[in-house]
Amino acid sequence: MLPGLLLFRLQSLNATENIMEATIVIPAYNEEKGIAAVVAEINEVMTKSGHVFEVVVVDDGSTDATLKAARGTSARVIEHAVNRGYGQSILTGMAEARHDVIVTIDADSSYAAQDIPKLLEESQKFAMVIGQRTGAQYRGRLLKYPARVAFRRLAEYISGESIPDINSGLRVFRKSAYNLLPKAHECRGFSFSTTTTLLFLAAGYSARFVPVEYRHRSGDSKINYYRDTLRALQILLEIGIHFNPLKIVLPMALAPLALSAGFLAASLAGGAALYLTPAVLCFGLALLIFGIGMILLQIKVSGR
């Protein structure tokens, strides 16, 4: 009887250790069609999981009935008087969170709440766990997919890490870890997820990508792909310069250096001094860009 009782007590202890306390933040802007169903699904899944949780809905100045629908649920609702952006909504939810573990999920039913417990389990070993979207709904239109792949490759080059899905809206991280990140690159718009992913990786935090179901959203998308892509690209370059400036500067210096070599080769092949001037100018530009990179690197090192 004693060994069996001891085993039961050890199993009970392990089960207790696996129970987590999490705040689930749902940013919502004009999502009256989906918000109530999302909260209900989260409540059902999380109650069965045994985790301690709270649901916080941040209504981001919605002009439809989102606020009314959210207040009709069991969630704690915080209201922005005006639209302040997706990222700011998450930051507001984090500021009001009772728990250190933060889960973010969209209000449009595109993510399945049943995936939250498995992300929470992985978060015991990783600083950030991201739901890696899969399926036709994620790939979207044919024209967007190559751009998404190119953007991801650039992010992987800057961070030096594999990033299967850089801007998934379903993720788990700790507020205490996020608060240690440099706030100069904090994004309060749709690029918040992209920024957070890259900041965590660039800062040396461990991350885990877990395949999740990605479903057809309810309601209309609020993303402006051109504006938000340009903003995300700007953030990628800012973070790259902050953490590893030479990774950004060296490729920029290679272009004038290659032109200089081309002009010099043309001058030597044709015996024309005409190409020497642009060769020297391009070489000087390459040196200038490289020098700027070294200055930025020195600023980074001295600022540690």
Reading the block at residue 28, the tokens are 């919502």
> CA-CA distance, 80 to 70, in Å (whole number)?
13
Q: What is the pLDDT of residue 223?
A: 58
Q: What is the pLDDT of residue 274?
A: 78
Per-residue burial over 195-217, b if 16 or more Cβ lie within 10 Å, else e, is bbbbbbbbbebebebbebbbeeb
The answer to whether residues 190 and 266 belong to one domain is no
Which residue is associated with the tokens 């190119």?
Answer: 150
Within a domain: residue 6?
no
Q: Nearest Cα to 122, choosing from 107, 138, 103?
A: 103
Domain CATH code at residue 155: 3.90.550.10
Q: What is the pLDDT of residue 225?
A: 61
> CA-CA distance, 245 to 239, in Å (whole number)?
9
> CA-CA distance, 81 to 14, in Å (whole number)?
44
The answer to whether residues 158 and 30 belong to one domain is yes
Give the structural domain span for 173: 20-243
Within a domain: residue 7?
no
222, 243, 264 - which closes a domain? 243
Reading the block at residue 18, the tokens are 């696996």
Q: What is the pLDDT of residue 37?
A: 95
The answer to whether residues 274 and 223 belong to one domain is no
Q: What is the pLDDT of residue 161?
A: 84
Q: What is the mean pLDDT of each run of 10 residues along the chain (304 residues)?
A: 34 54 96 94 96 97 95 96 93 96 94 96 94 74 64 80 89 94 73 86 89 78 63 72 76 87 83 79 88 74 54
